[in-house]
Structure 1
Amino acid sequence: MTTATSVPPVPGAPAGAGPAAPPRGGSPAHRRGSARAAAGRRPAWASRIVVNLVLAGFALYTLLPLTWLVIASTKDTADLVGTHGFALADLNFVENLTRMFAEDGGIFGRWMLNTVAYAGVGAALSVLVSLLAAFAFEMYDFRGKEKAFGFVLIGVLVPAAVTTMPLYLLASSTGMVNTFWGVFLPQVASPFGVYLARIFIASYVPRELIEAARIDGAGDFRAFFSVALPVLKPAAVTLFLMAFSAIWNNFFLPLVMLTDRSLFPVALGIYTWNQQEIADPAYAPLVIVGSLLAMLPVVALFLALQRYWKAGIGAGALK
């Protein structure tokens, strides 16, 4: 048996009327909360303005030094001293460029070739070593694997400047000080490259894919180069760009390891000219034009490889 619960009539309401409806607009507390939410809600145009201002600030921070460098590369020594930094003067870029390549018997060209060898070949070998090491860490089970990978992570945490003196002492004991190999070989090993490569392999190379290759008769190196490496092309490009940029701009290791000017990378060579500028201001245009040219290969490489860098790493992985 169900007992009906009667609702008391509202005072002053006509007889037979139902229960009172809630006031329009909700309760007072609800109306106060809505008013606060509306007051705290920013219009869309205000958010866009804030975002655009932040992006404009970053763009200025990036482009202003580059703009100054381009303008200053067209000035001679007198214009560098006597004009405003962003003021245009007589165009002397060709003269500065010709003088720079002729200075010290054309040693700037040798510095650029050295840097291409250090960075280009070194970055390619660094990527190959990192991918092979990461492939072994991810695809094989062996005793002490995670402990060994822990030592790799320790190498990621240690700054490169801390390892420069131990590397110098090691190179001194093996007779590689003031040689090409004393700068080249230490940059092939990259703990961060191994760490990042293992993340790529764990995410985009399934173990089942490698096991299927082994069942079909592929050896370890065949499985890596024929199955895993095609999937990891965007990852390899990313690792190559990072390694190339780091080696190209490396300064401290060549500074400690080299004394022969013919072995200098371009960053260290421009630094020596900058030191000579203190005694001879005529070196100032050479330093500026050299800095501009030293930057161009890195920019060109990023622009040429950006479509691979941005590509989906796992695209077609299991097709």
Structure 2
Amino acid sequence: MAVDTRTPPAPPVEAAPPRPRPVRRTSWSSRVVVNTLLAIVAAYTLMPLSWLLLNATKNNGDLFGSPGFRLAEFHLFANMADLFAHQDGVFGRWMLNSLLYSVVGSLAATLISLLAGYAFATYSFPGREKVYASVLLGILVPPTVVSLPMYLLASEAGLVNTYWAVLIPGLVNPFGVYLSRVFTEAYVPRETLEAARMDGAGELRTFRSVALPMLTPAFVTVFLFTFTASWNNFFLPLVMLNDSALYPVGLGLFSWNSVLPQEPQLYALVVTGALVSVVPLAIAFLTLQRHWRSGLTAGAVK
């Protein structure tokens, strides 16, 4: 009988299962270091605001008689009453002036920026990129550099020491034009605009009824940037205005601060006024932060 001398086939070799990737675990010491650094940065950032909150509750005696970060007798409401009554309530006039410069001026500047950014993003015309590049050059020019030329122009036009001397220069916002173009390219599809034109909508109606609702995050983002810059604007009103009744709140507090050696009773009013002047900015950011955060995210993705 013949014997089969063939070697039986080897059993199939099963593939080894893939090794799981080792999970990097953050060591306890590194977490402590990172959290400690973040706490130090947060404390350093909030230190001026905490000092302002504490010292706005003190009168003149406690301001100089107690440490800056220690509570004393609570005089905040009395300080605020004195603040709005001093010099026939000029501080309230300063706050209204700042709201006028910041809210009205920022709304107009934001609308102009959106129109310009929309035009650069959707229309093709000769020299478009060169004109856009010249607009972007305005971002590199510090506002204080052009304040004196603007004063000379306002003087020739007879606008010095008027509301228009502060409102008109604030309408130009090159950074807002840049953001508006980025947002338009990210949010407004060309097909939607073409469909609106085919339905018979004019260019202004296409922008107002189709593009503008899509650009709500852009509007809020540009408005907040412009509002903050306008509220903190100091040098331009200092150059343009001579009448204290037209001062914004920052310039008005500076005028009080400059006479503190002669009128030391104004110390508590200046500190309390500084605290009150921060409130509109905080309200604006807390109210519009949702739209602002989504707008910044879209701009970053684009």
Is TM-score (shorter-chain normalized) higher than 0.5?
Answer: yes
Amino acid at match of 2:186: S
- The answer as to whether partners of 1:266 and 1:294 remain within 8 angstroms in 2 is yes
Structure 1 residues 275 and 304, CA gap change in structure 2 (3 angstroms): same
Of 211, 234, 239, the residue aligned with 2:222 is: 239
Match of 1:81 in 2: 64
- The answer as to whether partners of 1:204 and 1:313 remain within 8 angstroms in 2 is no
- The answer as to whether partners of 1:232 and 1:313 remain within 8 angstroms in 2 is no
Match of 1:260 in 2: 243
- 1:225-236 aligned within 5 A: 225-236=208-219
Structure number with larger C-alpha Rg: 1
Deviation at 1:50, TM superposition (A): 3.0
Measured against aligned partners, the alpha-carbon deviations of 1:29-56 in whole angstroms (never above 9, x if no partner) come to xxxxxxxxx9xx8843333223322321
Over aligned residue pairs, what C-alpha RMSD do you find? 1.7
What 5-or-longer segments of structure 1 have no aligned partner? 1-37
- The answer as to whether partners of 1:74 and 1:90 remain within 8 angstroms in 2 is yes
Measured against aligned partners, the alpha-carbon deviations of 1:259-316 in whole angstroms (never above 9, x if no partner) come to 000000000000001011122211100100000000011001100111222236899x
Of 202, 207, 210, the residue aligned with 2:193 is: 210
Moved more, 173-182 or 299-308: 299-308
The separation in 2 between residues aligned to 1:313 and 1:258, in whole angstroms, is 35
Structure 1 residues 158 and 313, CA gap change in structure 2 (3 angstroms): closer
Match of 2:112 in 1: 129
State the number of aligned residues. Answer: 276
2:77 matches 1:103: no
Measured against aligned partners, the alpha-carbon deviations of 1:169-199 in whole angstroms (never above 9, x if no partner) come to 1101100000000001100110110011111
Amino acid at match of 2:229: A
What 5-or-longer segments of structure 2 have no aligned partner? 1-21
Instruction: Report 1 or 2 for greater relative contact order, CA contacts < 8 Å, sequence distance ≥ 6.
Output: 2
Of 109, 116, 122, the residue aligned with 1:139 is: 122
Match of 2:291 in 1: 308
When the two structures are superposed, what TM-score results if normalisation uses the length of structure 1? 0.83
2:46 matches 1:72: no
The separation in 2 between residues aligned to 1:86 and 1:203, in whole angstroms, is 47
- The answer as to whether partners of 2:221 and 2:296 remain within 8 angstroms in 1 is no
Percent of pairs identical after alignment?
Answer: 52
Deviation at 1:210, TM superposition (A): 1.1
SS in 2 for 1:120: helix
Measured against aligned partners, the alpha-carbon deviations of 1:214-268 in whole angstroms (never above 9, x if no partner) come to 1111111111111111111111111111110110010000000000000000000
